[in-house]
Amino acid sequence: MSLPPYARDLQLTLCHTCGQACAEDVHHCPRCNSVVHRRKPESLARTWAFLLASLIFYIPANLLPVMYTDMFGNGSENTIMSGVIEFWESGSWDIALLIFIASIAVPCLKFLVLGTLLITCQLRSRWAMRERSKLYRLIEVIGYWSMLDVLVVALIAALVQFRSLSSIEPRLGILFFGLVVVLTMLAAMSFDPRLIWDAEVEDA
């Protein structure tokens, strides 16, 4: 089976935004005037950089408390994990599970997937290319949902303010967690899934 020629073979470049096939030597899409690249520029390096930065921020995001709860003078600071454990131990396993998935499982999944994609792309591996691109689409979709935690804290902190009776304040950890989410999203955005398939070409 003969494969269709690559854009590169035809000296064409696809516009990222509107999908217009432009000549290879133009820098701006003649239709929508956005910058045109053959591949996303420095995709691997940028993804690596964002991924590493988010990994670094992920440590304080988990170690530092994200929320300070003051109930009748009984103040306590909770990290993400301690909150999960507290909910789990108090019997609300469903909420514990929700927080665990949104705050711990998803970011970790992202790190793993992005790391795998980056490494396999750099090695030009031809292993499970279709599945890898599916994974990439998955993390692009679930990336937004990782902000759940940040939203919850922001909402509660704004709502629960009863002076001395009880109050909830955000703590530094949630900032780092938000940064982690943003950075992983950036990493996912800067990754070009077409790199997965480039391995085919080189080998061909």
Partner 1 sequence: MPDHPRSTPTPSSPEVRSRRFNVSLVWLVPIVAALVGLSMVVHKAMSVGPQIVVTFLTAEGLEANKTQVKYKNVVIGKVTSIALNDDRAHINATIELDQSAAAFTKRDTRFWVVRPRIGAGGVSGVDTLLSGAFIGADPGEAKDTEDNFVGLENPPAITYGQKGKRFTLHTADLGSLDIGSAVYYRRIQVGQVVSYQLAKDGKGVDIDIFVNAPNDQYVRKDSRFWNASGVDVSLGANGLKVNTQSVASILAGGVAFIEPNYSVDKSLADERAEFTLFDDLETALARPDGEGHYVQMRFDQSLRGLTVNSPVEFLGVNVGRVVSVDLDYDAKAETFPTVIGAVIYPNRLGKAHDKLALMGDDDEVKGARLMEQMVKHGLRAQARSANLLTGQLYISMNFVPNAKPVDFDQTKRPMLIPTVPGSLDKAQEQLQAFVDKLSKIPIDQIADNLNGSLGQLNKTLANVNGQVLPEMRDTLVQTRKTLATANDSFAEDSPQRQQLGQAMDEVQRTARSVRVLTDFLGRHPEALIRGRLKDGKPDAYQPTSSTSREIDQE
Residue ranges that bind partner 1, judged by CB under 8 A = 4-5, 10-12, 24-25, 27, 42, 45-46, 49-50, 52-54, 56-57, 59-60, 72-76, 82, 179, 183, 190
- C-alpha dihedral (86, 142, 38, 10), degrees to nearest 10: 150
Q: Which of 191, 195, 147, 194 is nearest to 45 (CA)?
A: 191
State which residue, 74 or 202, has the beta carbon closest to partner 1: 74
Decide whether 157 or 180 has the Cβ nearer to partner 1: 180
Instruction: Output the smallest distance, CB 44 to partner 1, in A.
Output: 10
Contact 184, 48 (CB under 8 A): no
What the block records as the tokens of 61 is: 């995001």
CB 34 to partner 1: min, Å: 17
CB 80 within 8 A of CB 103: yes
Cα–Cα distance measured from residue 81 to residue 78, given in angstroms and rounded to the nearest whole number: 8
Q: Which is nearer to partner 1, 7 or 101 (CB)?
A: 7
Exposed, middle or buried, 187 (CB in 10 Å: 0-12/13-18/19+)? Answer: buried
Nearest approach, Cβ of 189 to partner 1 (angstroms)?
A: 12
Residue 99 is encoded by which pair of tokens?
Answer: 């927080």
Q: For 22, phi and psi rounded to 5 degrees? A: -105, 165
Q: How far is the CB of 159 from partner 1 (least distance, A)?
A: 21
* Least gap, CB of 172 to partner 1 (angstroms): 9
- Cβ-based nearer residue to partner 1, 73 or 91: 73
Nearer to partner 1, 6 or 133 (CB): 6
